[in-house]
Structure 1
Amino acid sequence: MTSSTSQPRVIVIGGSLGGLNAALWLREAGCDVEVFERVPVPLEDRGAGIVLNPATIRYFIAHRLLDVTQISASAQWFRCMGNGGDLIYEEPCRYRFTSYNVLYRGLLSCFDERRYHLGEECIAFDQDADGVTVRFSSGRVERCDLLVFADGINSIGRRLLLPEVRQQYSGYVAWRGTVEEQELSPQAFAALHEAITYSLQADNHVLSYPIPNRDGTVEDGRRLTNWLWYRNATPGAELEDLLTGRGGERFTTSVPPGFVQERHLRQLREDAAALPPAFAEMIARTREPFLQVIIDIEVPRMAFGRVCLIGDAAFTARPHAAAGSAKAAEDAWKLGEAVKACGGDVVTALERWEPGQLALGRQLVARARHVGTRLQHGRWPVGESLPFGLYEIGDSAFDDELEDLG
Structure 2
Amino acid sequence: MYKHPKIAIVGGSLTGPTLALLLLRAGFDDLTLYDAAPALATRTGGVMSLENTALDVLATIGIPQREIVTGRSDTIAQITVRNRRPIKTTRIPYPGRFTTWALLHAALRARLPGSVLHLGTRIVGLHESVRGPVVVRADGSSEPADLVVFADGRNSIGRRLLDPGRQTCYSGCVAHRGTSSRPGDPSGDFRRYDLGQGGQFNLAPVPGGQDWIFGLNASPNEFRAWFGVSPGERSYVTDGQIGGSARSRLDQEAVDRLPAAEAHLVVSTRRRAAVAIMDVDPPTSMVWPIGAGYAVLLGDALAPPRPVTARGANAGIEQAAGLVQCLRHGQLGDDLRDWERHCLPDAVATLERGLLISSRLGLGTSHTIPVLDGARR
TM range, smaller chain: 0.7 to 0.9
Distance 1:72 1:135, change over 3 A: same
Question: For the Cα contact (< 8 Å) 1:29–1:339, is it kept in 2?
Answer: no
Aligned counterpart, 1:239: 223
Aligned residue among 374, 380, 388 for 2:360: 374
So what's the TM-score if we normalise by structure 2?
0.86
Pairing 1:209-224 to 2, within 5 Å after superposition: 209-211=204-206, 213=207, 223-224=208-209
Alignment partner, residue 375 of structure 2: none
Alignment of 1:108-119 (within 5 A): 108-119=109-120
| Contact 2:170-2:276 at 8 Å conserved across structures | yes
Count of residues in Structure 1 that have an aligned counterpart in Structure 2: 354
8 Å contact from structure 2 (residues 68, 107) kept in 1 = no
Q: How far apart are the structure 2 equivalents of 1:15 and 1:366?
A: 27
Indicate conservation of the 8 Å contact 1:179/1:226, yes or no: yes
Q: Which segments of 5 or more consecutive residues in structure 1 lack a partner in the other structure? A: 183-188, 214-222, 379-406
Q: Per the alignment, in what secondary structure is the counterpart of residue 344 of structure 2?
A: helix
- 1:79 is matched with 78
Return the letter of the residue paired with 2:272: P
Which residue, out of 175, 193, 198, partners 1:198? 193
SS of equivalent to 2:239:
coil
Contact 2:45 2:211 in 1 (8 A): no
SS at match of 1:52: strand
Instruction: Give the alignment's Cα RMSD to 1 decimal.
Output: 2.5
- Asked whether the equivalents of residues 37 and 117 of structure 1 are also in contact (C-alpha less than 8 Å), the reply is yes
CA contact (8 A) 2:216 2:363 kept: no
Aligned-pair CA distance for 1:81: 4.2
Hey, what's the Cα distance between the residues in 1 that align with 2:145 and 2:162? 17
Question: Which of residues 229, 249, 261 in structure 2 aligns to 1:267?
Answer: 249
- Residue-by-residue CA offset, 1:11-49 (whole Å, 9 max, x unaligned): 001111011112122223332211001122223317611
Q: Is the 8 A contact 2:63 2:107 kept in 1?
A: no
Match of 1:317 in 2: 305
1:296 deviation in Å? 2.1
- Please report how far the alpha carbon of residue 171 of structure 1 lies from its aligned counterpart in structure 2 after TM superposition: 1.7
- Residue of structure 2 equivalent to 1:281: 264
- For the residue of structure 1 that corresponds to 2:131, the secondary structure is coil
Q: TM-score, normalised by structure 1?
A: 0.80
CA distance in 1, matches of 2:363, 2:10: 37
- Within the alignment, does 1:126 sit opposite 2:127 as a pair? yes
Q: Is the 8 Å Cα contact of residues 68 and 100 (structure 2) preserved in structure 1? A: no
Name the counterpart of 1:394. none
Matched residues in 1 for 2:67 and 2:120: separation? 34
Aligned counterparts of 2:74 and 2:261: Cα–Cα separation in 1? 17
Deviation at 1:331, TM superposition (A): 1.3
1:354 and 2:337 aligned = no
| Equivalent of residue 62 in structure 1, options 35, 60, 65 | 60
More deviation, 290-299/193-202 = 193-202
Is the 1:145–1:346 Cα contact (8 Å) retained in structure 2?
A: no
Determine the structure 2 residue equivalent to 1:88: 88
- The more displaced of 130-139 and 49-58 is 49-58
The percent of aligned pairs where both chains have the same amino acid is 27
**Corresponding residue for residue 386 of structure 1:** none
Asked if the contact 1:20/1:107 (under 8 Å) is kept, the reply is: yes
Q: Contact (CA 8 Å) 1:205, 1:376: kept in 2 or not?
A: no
Task: Kindly report structure 1 stretches of 4+ aligned residues shifted beyond 6 Å.
Answer: none
